[in-house]
DNA sequence: CTATCATTCAAACGCTTGTTTGGTTTTTCG
DNA sequence: CGAAAAACCAAACAAGCGTTTGAATGATAG
């Protein structure tokens, strides 16, 4: 349901997001993709050069803003007198939650993000690490300052677990299906609450 | 490095595990796979019927034993007078840890397992749910008995998060690379300790 | 030894993949 | 308007895919 008044590039990005989330990067073919976007098959290579670069651009479109929001929220928390662990976690999680509630494909993109975690795609990992790795680094050092009782190794273990759990929860993986009576928004907000409480307790343990 | 004295079927299963972990199910081709296993291209279809069924058999080879070990450990814990939350979690996690320390491909298979979580492959999910879904159900009800203060919805949320975190941690996903001075075994044992403490704290919160 | 069955193999099948081509249409702008 | 640039499109390309075939080889049992 990509509306025809969007530009060709936007329709391709939207359809790519949808199909990457559903079928993975290798599993989504350009013919399927261009057909869903209602554009010519050659349009992907014309506008994006290659399928690989289209994948990059799908991430760039969302991650630029998500990373900026996370860093903003982090800076805001660090500026307060007594930042709590929950505040730091919220600075990381709430922007992703907001993204997942975005009307135009945000929830879909979060599923794409989880795919990227799961696929050990070397090319994609390099792209993400080069362009957005500094965000994770800043959060790691903020957590470290809050948890002096943890040595570096333990801290990294726990952050790793949290990042994985966050990805899964946000992407709606696993066995849980929300009650149909509950709206998507309430569903995800509760997920974030649970995750923050859960993660803070685990980090302090 | 599949040794030639293994049977054709075993060499195929070993190479499939390796390649599925590295490249995903769609991303691993039968030509690559049979070449790594040093068998003829047609051997997969001869011995397994199809690539889809080969995927099933890769899971069956490991999950039969893993599920049995988890259920055994769970029954043992439930038989004790005062089973703790940590005991229940250990019953779920330790068999997976042992598998990941198995000399012949266990660690690789855990990565395959994480792939299965991430890929929304309907066919594979159905196979896994039909054959191994009862294990998760039994653990869920055991957790529920331990946590009467949580309603069903909250409990499921938290189990979901734990299952995701476990999968990630065990599969060595995320940013952490172990210190090269540390053995694989110590690395994974610490992961399990952290995960159990983390998960128990989160469940009780 | 021979007949029988299971296994291996090279080759080919039909199909889908990402990408490129060359020409046509549409848009931009002096 | 008219020329240059950008965008679009049908068609074809080479390469790779899972699968099938039919003959060659290996092992098994009468």
Residue A143 CA, nucleotide D13 C1', distance (Å): 54
- CA atoms in the 13 A half-sphere facing the CB of B53: 8
Nucleotide nearest to A8 (CA to C1'): D7
Q: A46 touching B, CB under 8 A?
A: no
Task: Kindly determine whether residue B174 and residue A168, on different chains, have CB atoms separated by under 8 Å.
Answer: no
Place of tokens 């079928």: A23
CB atoms within 10 A of CB A74: 21
Contact B108, B118 (CB under 8 A): no
CB proximity B7–strand D (7 Å threshold): no
Interface mutation vs chain B, best among A188, A196, A205, most B CBs within 10 Å: A205
Place of tokens 């929860």: A169
CA distance A113 to A63: 10
Bases of chain D with protein Cβ within 7 A: 7-12, 16-22
pLDDT tens across the length of chain B (205 residues): 445 578 999 999 999 999 999 888 988 999 999 999 999 999 999 999 999 999 999 999 999 999 999 999 999 999 998 899 999 999 998 998 888 888 778 888 988 988 887 777 888 989 998 999 999 899 999 999 999 988 887 788 778 777 777 777 777 654 444 554 456 677 667 767 777 877 787 777 6
Which tens digits make up the pLDDT trace of A12-57?
999 999 999 988 898 899 999 999 999 999 999 999 999 999 999 9
Which residues have C-beta within 8 Å of that of residue B180, sequence separation ≥ 6? none
Average pLDDT, chain A: 85
Bases of chain C with protein Cβ within 7 A: 7-12, 16-22
pTM as predicted: 0.83
Residue B39 CA, nucleotide C9 C1', distance (Å): 10
CB proximity B68–strand C (7 Å threshold): no
């Amino acid at each position: 349901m990509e509306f025809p008044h969007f530009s060709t590039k936007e329709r391709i990005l939207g359809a790519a997001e949808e199909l990457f989330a559903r079928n993975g990067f290798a599993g989504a073919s350009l013919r399927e993709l261009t057909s869903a976007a209602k554009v010519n098959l050659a349009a992907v290579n014309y506008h994006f050069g290659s399928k690989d670069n289209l994948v990059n651009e799908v991430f760039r479109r969302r991650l630029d803003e998500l990373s900026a929001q996370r860093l903003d929220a982090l800076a805001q928390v660090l500026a307060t007198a007594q930042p709590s662990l929950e505040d730091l976690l919220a600075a990381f999680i709430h922007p992703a939650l907001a993204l997942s509630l975005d009307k135009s494909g945000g929830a879909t993109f979060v599923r794409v993000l989880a795919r990227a975690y799961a696929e050990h795609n070397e090319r994609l990992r390099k792209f993400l690490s080069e362009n957005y790795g500094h965000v994770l680094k800043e959060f790691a050092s903020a957590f470290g300052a809050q948890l002096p009782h943890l040595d570096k190794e333990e801290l990294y273990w726990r952050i790793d677990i949290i990042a994985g759990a966050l990805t899964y929860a946000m992407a709606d993986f696993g066995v849980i299906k929300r009650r149909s009576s509950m709206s998507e928004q309430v569903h995800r907000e509760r997920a974030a609450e649970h995750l923050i409480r859960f993660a803070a307790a685990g980090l302090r343990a």
